[in-house]
Amino acid sequence: MMFFFLFSVSGNASTPEFKKKKNSECLLRLRHEGLLNSCPAGVASCPASSCPFRSPRSPRLKLLESALLLGPRPTAGGMEFSELIRTGRAQAELLRGPGAPPLRGTLCVTGHHLLLSPGPQATSDLWLLLLRSVDSIEKRVAGDSGTITLRCKDLRVLQLDIEGVEATLDIARSIEALSSLESVITSFPFFYRPKGLRLGDAWHFHPPEHHYKRVARETNAWRLSEVNEDFSVCPSYPRAVIVPRAVDDDALARSARFRQGGRFPVLSYHHAPSGTVLLRSSQPLTGPQKRRCAEDEELLRAVLAGARPGARGFIVDTRSAQAAKQARMTGGGTEAKAAYPGWKRLHRPMERGRPLQESFVRLVEACGDLEQSMDRWLSRLEGCRWLAHVKEALSTACLAAQGMEREGACILVHGAEGTDSTLLVTSLAQLILDPLSRTMTGFQELVEREWIQAGHPFQLRCAHSAFSHARPKHEAPTFLLFLDCVWQLGRQFPLSLEFGEGLLLALFEHAYASPFGTFLCNSEKERCLCEVRTRTHSLWSGLNQPKEQRKLRNPLYVLNPLAIWPSVEPQSLRLWQGLFLRWTRPPEPSEAAWEKVWQIVTDKEKTEGSQPTVSASEPQP
C-alpha cells in the first residue's frame, strides 16, 4: 500500500529512554520517506507561534507533531493550510479493516497528512495517510464521542472513533477541506523530498526522442516533428510527435485544425515484422456540411505510402455508427470513404465517461457487501458490466493488432476526443504485439508515452474513485480499465510479462493520489506551466529503486518474442480480486506462494552464480 506508512520502534515503552528513542526514530523515518521537510532552525527551536496546533497546556507541540509542520507552509486559495485545520489533534482509535488490530493514540491533522501516533506506553506503529487519497468522508456522533468513516481512493475503508463531539466534527471538516483542494502546486508532490532521490531524476527516461530512435532504426518513412513545441497546435500533445516524413509542419498544423482539440494523426507504434503502423488521433471536424481537409487527407495517404507496398488501412472508430452520425450534427464526424482512399472504417463501440464510472461504482459496492447470497453476488457482478467493458477493450485491441500482424494493414484509432478509449486500444494493442512493451522498462515507457504524454486527463478522470458522492461527467476509470486488461493478459500469459500485479496496483494507487508528480495535471502543457518536472519527483525513480523491484517484478518471466492473443470468452475473464477484494478478504495463499517462488528463483540464481563456468574454447562433453 503506497499511502499507509507504518513505522515500528522497538524497546521498553515504560522508560524515558524509549520515549526519546521512539520520537527520534520516527523523525528519522519520516525524513527518510520524504514526509518531513528540513528546517534551518531545527526541530527544538520551532516557535509555538508558527504552530496551528497550539494547546493552552503546552506552549510547544510535542517533537513529532511539530516536526510534521516544519518547512515552507504552502497556501491554499490565498489562505494558510493552518486556517483549514479546525482541530489539530484528538484522541482516537483507528479500525483498519479485517485482520488488522485497532490502533489507539493521538490523531493529528497536517496540511497533507492524517497521522495517528500511539501513546508513549505503546510499541505499535506510527500511521500516516495522505489526505489526497480520501475519496469520501462520513461522520456521526453519539454521546460524548464520534465516528469518522474514511473511504479511500484505493478502495480501502477506515474508521476513526474519536473522543469528543466537537473534535470529531472539526477533524471531519478539516479532512474534507484539505482532501478536496484543487490547486496543483499546493499538492504534496511539490513538497515530497524522499531520501536517495534527486529532483529531475527519471523524468528523462522516456522522452519522445527515445521512442523515435527505435522507429528510425526500423524505417526511414517517419520523422520527429516539433511543430507543437509551444503547444499551440495541440494543447494535449507533447512538444514532439512522430509523423510521416513526407508531410511538412504546415500541413500538420492545417490537419490539426481539422481534428477535435488539434489531435491530428500521429504514430503510436511501428510494427517492424509487417512494416505497418498504429496511429491515434481525434475525430475529424466534418460537421453537417461534410467538410474536407486536403492536408489531413494527404497525411493519411503518406502513411500508406510509407508502409509496405500495397498496404491498406483501417480506421477503428471506438464509437457506434449512430454516435458518430450524431457527432457530425454537432461539428464532429468521420472520415468520408471517398476522401480517404485505401482506408476502411470499422466501428467498435466502447463505453466511456459516466457509464464507465457508474459501472466501477456498482462493482465496488457489490464487492463491499459481505452479507449477500451467491445468487445476489453473481447478479450484481453481471449487472455492473465491468467485465463486459474489459472484454470490449481487449476485443478492440485484438482487432487492431490482428489488422497489423495478420492483414498487413495500417491502423488509425480514434473516438471523439481521442484521449480515453483511443489510448486504451493503442496501448493494449502494443502489449499484444510488442515484446519490449511487456518488459518492466518497456511497460513504464508505454504508460508514459501512450497515457501521460499522449494527454489522458488524469487530473479530471481520477479526481474521485468509487466512493465519492459527487458524480462529475468528466470522471471515468479508463486508466483502471487498462490496468485490469493488463492484469487479464498477465493471468492468461503468466510467463510473458516481466512485471507482476504489484506494479499494476501501484499505478492504480498513484494515478488517484500520489506523492510523486508523474500523474499530475491533464497534459504536458499543464505540467510545463506548473513546472512539474523540475519541482516534483518522478514515480519511475521511486518504483525503480532496488528495494521496490522485488515487489513489482515477475519471477517467472521469460522473454516471449511472439504476439500474445488473449481469450475474451466469458470463461476466460476473471474479477481482479487483488484489487477489488484486497481490503475485504484475508491475503490469498497465492501471495505467500508468490514470495516462495521469488525465494526459489533467487536461490537458484545464487547456486548457478557460484558454479564455475566452462570456457567457450574448452571442448564440451
Model confidence over 263-314: pLDDT tens digits?
Answer: 999 999 999 999 999 999 999 999 999 999 999 999 999 999 998 888 899 9
Q: Which residues, 6+ apart, have CB-to-CB distance to 149 below 8 Å?
A: 137, 138, 139, 157, 158, 159, 160
Position 23 scores a pLDDT of 47
| Mean pLDDT across 176-202 | 85
Q: What share of the chain is helix, strand, coil (3-state, %, to 5)?
A: 40, 15, 45
* Least confident among 126-130, 388-392, 614-618: 614-618
| Mean pLDDT across 508-514 | 95
Letter for the amino acid at 447? V
| Mean pLDDT across 453-471 | 90
| Mean pLDDT across 238-245 | 95
pLDDT tens, 391-427?
A: 999 999 999 999 999 999 999 999 999 999 999 999 9
Which is nearest to 527 in space by CA: 239, 205, 265, 134? 239
* Element spanning 241, H or E: strand 241-244
The DSSP result for 330-379, as a single string, is TT-----TTTSTTEEEEE-----SHHHHHHHHHHHHHHH-SS--HHHHHH
Confidence of residue 431 (pLDDT cuts 50, 70, 90): very high
Which is nearest to 237 in space by CA: 253, 261, 269, 273? 261
Burial string for 14-32 (b: 16+ CB within 10 Å, else e) reads eeeebbeebbebbbebbbe
Give yes or no for residue 52 having a pLDDT over 60. no
* Least confident among 97-106, 138-147, 517-526: 97-106
The DSSP result for 556-580, as a single string, is T-----S------STTT----HHHH
Is-contact 117 108, C-beta < 8 A? yes
Is-contact 334 345, C-beta < 8 A? yes
**H helices present in 418-559, as ranges:** 421-433, 440-447, 458-461, 478-492, 501-512, 524-529, 532-535, 539-543, 546-552
Phi, psi of 512 (to 5 degrees): -95, -30
pLDDT tens, 351-392?
A: 888 899 999 999 999 998 888 899 999 999 999 999 999 999
Which is nearest to 437 in space by CA: 565, 269, 550, 307? 269
| Mean pLDDT across 510-523 | 94
Is-contact 189 536, C-beta < 8 A? yes
Letter for the amino acid at 56? P
Beta strand 313-317 with 343-347: parallel, antiparallel or unpaired?
parallel
Higher-confidence position of 433 and 598:
433
Burial string for 159-172 (b: 16+ CB within 10 Å, else e) reads bbbbebeebbbbbb
Is-contact 451 563, C-beta < 8 A? no
Using alpha carbons, list the distances in angstroms from residue 295 to 223, 298, 416: 17, 5, 20
Burial string for 582-600 (b: 16+ CB within 10 Å, else e) reads bbbeeeeeeeeebeeebee
Using alpha carbons, list the distances in angstroms from residue 534 to 369, 518, 530: 44, 11, 9
What is the distance of C-alpha 333 from the center of its chain? 31
Q: Across the strands, what pairs with 109?
A: 114
Which is nearest to 408 in space by CA: 342, 339, 338? 342
pLDDT tens, 596-606?
A: 777 787 777 66
Position 340 scores a pLDDT of 95
- The pTM of the full predicted model, rounded to 2 decimals, is 0.85
Q: Retrieve residue 119's grid coordinates.
A: 501513546
Position 579 scores a pLDDT of 93
Is-contact 425 482, C-beta < 8 A? no
Q: Retrieve residue 489's grid coordinates.
A: 493478459
